[in-house]
Chains A and B, each alone.
Chain A
Amino acid sequence: MRWLRKNLIPIIGILVLVYLFVPIAVVAILSFNKPEGKFNVAWNQFSLEAWQNICGVPGVCGSFVTSIQIGILATILGTIFGTMIAFALVRYRFRGRSTTNLLIFLPMATPEVVLGSSLLALFLNLAFPLGFWTVTIAHIMFIISFVVVTVKARLQGMDPRLEEAARDLYADPRATFRYVTFPLVLPGILGAALLGFSLSFDDYIISAFNAGTLVTFPIYIWGAAQRGIPVQVNALATLVFVIALITVVSAQVIGSRRRRKMESAAAG
């Protein structure tokens, strides 16, 4: 009883983590299923069919590639724009700072359905053709705010003495930025880019409004949900999840190991 009281919070915490992962486990398990009928919702029989023939259903891999293309394009532009804004906000004094903050905050405070529908209203009024570019434009728009917030937090958390030290050692502003500031902010920028990509890759609502006849991976899934999602979709999603998780965890491990090494070198 006493043990339980002492460890109550870790136990609840771990249960919440388990809760977060249960649906993902279901998606993964069902990727090895041979569904009875069209709908892959209940376990029937073990099968590797979907994994062996992952592009076997028309449309699945095409939409997947489209989503990756849009994700990469939107992430690159959104991350550059957002990082620039973050630097301006943290490093400079200028007029219109609170307006800028508001303009960054508002897209995050706007429900996706409003973001999507308002952009559609604009494109319709301009008679702009819907498709790849309208979706990419929309994704860049909502990525920017998240990048600004993430990179800003990293910049603010940086020890200003490191840059002062560089200047004291006669580094000009460019060298200070190149060898001190940028490497220190880089993990924040990469984190922001990763977040941006996952938001873009996974976005359904805003994309659905602005896609026209273009089919992204989430749009494909939504359409398939009415007539039964092919098992291949589960296999692809599981694959993406595993690759992303392994990448991020190993980046974490390498990062912390390097930090420990640097710390011990500094101490020695």
Chain B
Amino acid sequence: MPALAPTAGGSAVVVSGAAAQRRPRTAYLLLIPGLAWLGIFFVVPLVSLFFTSLQAPTDRAGVYQPAFQVGNYLTALQEYWPVFIKSFIYSGIATVLALVIAYPLAYFIAFRAGRWRALLLVLVVAPFFASFLLRTYAWRTILADEGFITSFFNALHLLPENRILNTPIAVVLGLTYNFLPFMILPLYAALERIDPRLIEAASDLYASPFTGFRKVIWPLSLPGVVAGTLLTFIPASGDYINATLLGAPSDRMVGNAIQTNFLQFRDYPIASALSFILMAIILAVVFVYIRRAGTEDLV
């Protein structure tokens, strides 16, 4: 399923001769229902969220009135900046780990799998058929304090808190695991496009396998690396399921803060301000990162 494949041509799609002549009116008719849906239920809510983030409290708890309280953002940042930093550290580490783990598998499927390729791709997305929450919960069994893995690392004295569960390690491991397919698929899509003869050419020119990788494969796979890291980093930085199920209360992330403010404290302005700050930081990261990596064709 090349769902998250970065397209090589990007927006510079080749519109074949006959098709290009067709009238754009049909195009607009095709676009209207979907774009209207996205307009009403994605763009308008974001605007609504923005106005909510500026609302002021009233006498009644949980009821807010329209206002222009920019101070909500300051309050949110003051109270939650350590949580923001922690979230981005956790999701950043998880993204790098996922890249390191996913690359060999994507490479294997693209170049060495032969006729097993389609089946292996199905297996990569298969975890999506099993409940995300249950899979995360299953890590509680795997990483349990008296379990095999924790005992093994404890015997080597590698764990600062003598346990994995309810520590940041478990949260990062959970994030890495849960978003791994989002890393594998775009990496595979980019690697699959590489002509294997280029690798042969590199070795014919006496490049060691490592140099061949560094100078040929890695640069050509960059669009996949960019797409994969973003598709891992973005959901990971907003996630609160892994932090809640696998971490200690002190490991809570921004997602937790947004969720509790929205659904428990009913402090909608602060929750909205937090959402907006998260979104702004992510968009800034995406923008800088894409610029840096030089691939602007993600969709």
Contacts and interface: CB of A to CB of B under 8 A. Distances in A.
B37 A205 contact: no
A92 B20 CA distance: 6
A16 B44 contact: no
B118 A256 contact: yes
Interface of B: prevailing SS: helix
Contacts of B1: 150, 191, 194-195
A213 B277 CA distance: 29
Contacts of A92: 15, 19-20, 22, 24, 26-27, 30
A88 interface: yes
Chain B: interface residue count, which band?
A: 35 or more
A149 B5 contact: yes
A28 B125 CA distance: 18
Contact of A114 (B5, B31, B279): B279
Contact of B241 (A106, A150, A205): A205
Contacts of A98: 11
B48 interface: yes
A221 B124 CA distance: 24
Given A23-B177, A144-B38, A149-B4, A42 B144 contact: yes
Interface string B223-259: 0000000110011011111000100000000110011
A268 to B, nearest CB: 21
Interface residues of A, number: 104
Contact of B123 (A17, A95, A113, A144): A17
Interface of B: 1-5, 7, 9, 11, 13, 15-16, 18-20, 22, 24, 26-28, 30-31, 33-35, 37-39, 41-46, 48-49, 51-52, 101-102, 104-105, 107-109, 112, 118-120, 122-142, 144, 177, 180-181, 230-231, 234-235, 237-241, 245, 254-255, 258-259, 262-263, 268, 271-272, 275-276, 278-279, 282-283, 286, 298-299
Interface of A: 9-10, 12-14, 16-17, 19-24, 26-27, 30, 41-42, 80-82, 84-85, 87-95, 97-98, 100-101, 103-115, 117-122, 124-125, 137-138, 140-141, 144-146, 148-150, 152-154, 156, 160, 163-164, 167, 191-192, 194-195, 198-199, 202, 204-205, 208-209, 217-218, 221-222, 225, 229, 233-234, 237-238, 240-241, 244-245, 248-249, 252, 256
